Structure 1
Amino acid sequence: MLELNLNQDNQKIQDNQKLWDKAINFFRKRSLWMLHYCTGCGAMELPPTMTSRWDVERFGVGPMATPRQADILLVTGYVSTKTLKRIIRTYEQMPEPKWVLAFGSCAINGGMYWDSYNTITNVGEYIPVDISLAGCMPRPEAVLDSLLKLMDMIQRGEAKAYKKYKENYAYYKANQDRIFKNAEPVLESAKLKFEYKEQNSSEMGVEK
């Protein structure tokens, strides 16, 4: 019943698309720029995906060096608490529409680091993820297949996870704060570090 309702909702989205939206999505899906945040070993699968054997650029997908011009954020492997801060900042700098692909078991459920004190077990709790690639690590064929699937979702008007970030920002922000309160600021201003120490002192009941 749930699958039937999802199919009906997706059909309504497609039916409600205006002709102009369909035209924009047609060209948008053929000009996707990837920002690969190489957090783990999934980054090793990207060179063969982009070079001659699989050649993802023949579908209009290419690499981008900065978040300001990127459409897709690739989280390629495990994510530590400190790295998560940079991923969130990078994601928020990207212009809309934007999409996120989570590579491998580590980004989905922690993988081999599922019980580690400083590793994130589910990236989707902190930023919205459009497609998750299972495996350790997913092969270039899987990466290519996921990008083609994302292109179809964009064409149908279904790839709108980035809107959930604004609509449910309180949920994502609460998860982010829950993690970050346990980690001292890195490469931040002295003011932030002072506020972090003050906050921790008050929570632990330490007198000033």
Structure 2
Amino acid sequence: MYIFDTIMNRMRRGCQTMPYPKGPAPALPDRHGGALRLDASACPAGCAECIAACPVSAITREPDQAARLDLGRCLFCGDCVEVCPSGAITRTDDHRLAVRHREDLILGEPGKEELRLAAALDGKMKSLLGRSLRLRQVSAGGCGACEADINVLGTIGWDLGRFGIQYVASPRHADGVLITGPVTKGMELALQKTWEAVPEPRIAIALGACAISGGPFVGQAQHNGGADPIIPIDLYIPGCPPHPLTILDGFLRLLDRLEDNKHNEAEPLKILKVDNP
């Protein structure tokens, strides 16, 4: 009887999984704001308002040089957007943030006003993985926020398993590691051993500002400033924490499961620019 009631209830509720990526992506909440854009040419000479406002020194400016914004260190708090007098830094409301190379997260240099979004794995890796991806998640000293949004992807609305992507309990069963946290000294050896236990060929994904650069803990001696000094990273997904849509976009981009990922990697993908509120 209980089984019959459960089946009938599920039939009445119907499919609740979002249509993305075949349908439109859900809108980001207002407080998120999406990726940032930096138009360094619009920065007034000598202005340092955004630099002073940034809590993690993600914005820098050398003498006689354009301002630079490191989205790998950025917490996306929006303080720089609020204080910028010229609107040089703007929110884009774009969920796409994943890149393949660390330097692609640094904006402001000539020709680097927009993100160069992640290209897919090479043909050999794609053929080995097929249409699946098994990841061993390693929480290397994080606060739990990135881990929470990773778990959200397993809920009924997202259903990460429909893409053939799963988290596994053992690195022996994994295709790669998914790293969160700044890699504290106490977790350094654990991460190394986990990485070595993953069969080759393997991939590594750094998720969140902490795993990319140390995040709000940058400069502290108790961690390694992210996963880069420990293992080679194949995909960077910035945020504090990244929105689940941003995480899913990064995974699918790596597996070449998105239409806009068919572009040439040498060509930067334009991201939506909206007026500064």
TM range (shorter): 0.5 to 0.7
1:34 aligns with 2:132: no
Say whether the 8 Å CA contact 1:48–1:54 is kept in structure 2: yes
Structure 1 position 122, deviation (Å):
3.1
Say whether the 8 Å CA contact 1:35–1:73 is kept in structure 2: yes
The Cα offsets for residues 147-186 of structure 1, whole Å up to 9 and x where unpaired, read as: 0111129xx9xxxxxxxxxxxxxxxxxxxxxxxxxxxxxx
1:146 aligns with 2:250: yes
Tell me the amino acid that sits aligned with residue 142 of structure 1.
T
Say whether the 8 Å CA contact 1:107–1:120 is kept in structure 2: no
Counterparts of 2:191 and 2:165, CA distance in 1 = 21
- Residue segments in structure 2 that go unaligned for 5+ positions in a row: 1-110, 113-118, 263-277
Higher helix share: 1
Counterparts of 2:244 and 2:189, CA distance in 1 = 27
Aligned counterpart in structure 2 of residue 84 of structure 1, from 165, 179, 188 = 188
Counterparts of 2:188 and 2:236, CA distance in 1 = 17
The Cα offsets for residues 32-79 of structure 1, whole Å up to 9 and x where unpaired, read as: 111111232211111111221111111100121001110121111221
Say whether the 8 Å CA contact 2:160–2:166 is kept in structure 1: yes
1:108 aligns with 2:209: no
Say whether the 8 Å CA contact 1:105–1:135 is kept in structure 2: yes
1:122 aligns with 2:226: yes
The answer for the alignment partner of 2:103 in structure 1 is none
Aligned to 2:166, the other structure's residue is in SS state strand
TM-score normalised by structure 2 residue count:
0.46
> In percent, how many aligned pairs have the same letter?
31
Counterparts of 1:140 and 1:72, CA distance in 2 = 19
1:54 aligns with 2:155: no
Structure 1 position 138, deviation (Å):
0.5
How much is the aligned-residue C-alpha RMSD, in angstroms?
Answer: 2.9
Counterparts of 1:27 and 1:51, CA distance in 2 = 27
Counterparts of 1:143 and 1:28, CA distance in 2 = 19
Tell me the amino acid that sits aligned with residue 163 of structure 2.
F
TM-score normalised by structure 1 residue count:
0.60
Counterparts of 1:99 and 1:29, CA distance in 2 = 14
Structure 1 segments of 4+ aligned residues over 6 angstroms from their partners: none
Counterparts of 1:122 and 1:51, CA distance in 2 = 28
Counterparts of 2:176 and 2:191, CA distance in 1 = 12
Structure 1 position 27, deviation (Å):
6.6
The answer for the alignment partner of 1:172 in structure 2 is none
- Alignment: residue pair count: 141
The answer for the alignment partner of 2:200 in structure 1 is 96
The answer for the alignment partner of 2:237 in structure 1 is 133
